Amino acid sequence: MSDPGYAFTDSVRSLYSDHFRWLQAWLHRRLDDTHQAADLAQDTFVKVLARRGFAAPVSEPRAFLSTVARGLLIDFWRHRDIEQAWSDTLAMYPEALHPSPEDQALVLEALVAIDRKLARLGTRTRHAFLLHKIHGMTHPAIAAELGVSERMVRKYVAQAMLAFLVDDASSTDRVGSSASPLAVGADFQQ
């Protein structure tokens, strides 16, 4: 009887040795950064290893790897954009008012977590939630803006809040921390 763990490891080893250089070049063409391309290529294989869901050889390995890598690229670009926006925000204030490096890292981590949560919401739900929470718009004003009823706005905002709460609860279960990303970033809004 063969060990499924061995088959999986052997499959990933073969995938890595046959396609790592190709994947790194594919990523380099999109990033124009050799070191970042190497990091993301490694991250792609780490993600494949974490899945442990396939033991059979992949019929289209380059398509499979590029799909996994594309998701990591999107995350990388989003993270980079958030870092830049945070850096631009800090630049608007005197350095004496900047949070400590530890707090800056926490805020950046919270911003990335919030962005991921918002990205999982539907377009209208996300838009209504942001208009309400960030822009302080009332439900009637949001309804007029989106061309929907106030009841739908309440539903959208409630859906978004529920999604954040459910996600926070599952994060607490996994990590053992109860700090919400919304709470971590709230201290800097002064």
Question: pTM of the predicted model, to two decimals?
Answer: 0.69
- CA distances (Å), origin 155, targets 38, 118, 142, 149: 44, 16, 12, 10
10-48: pLDDT as tens digits: 778 888 999 999 999 999 999 999 999 999 999 999 998
pLDDT of residue 52: 65
pLDDT of residue 13: 85
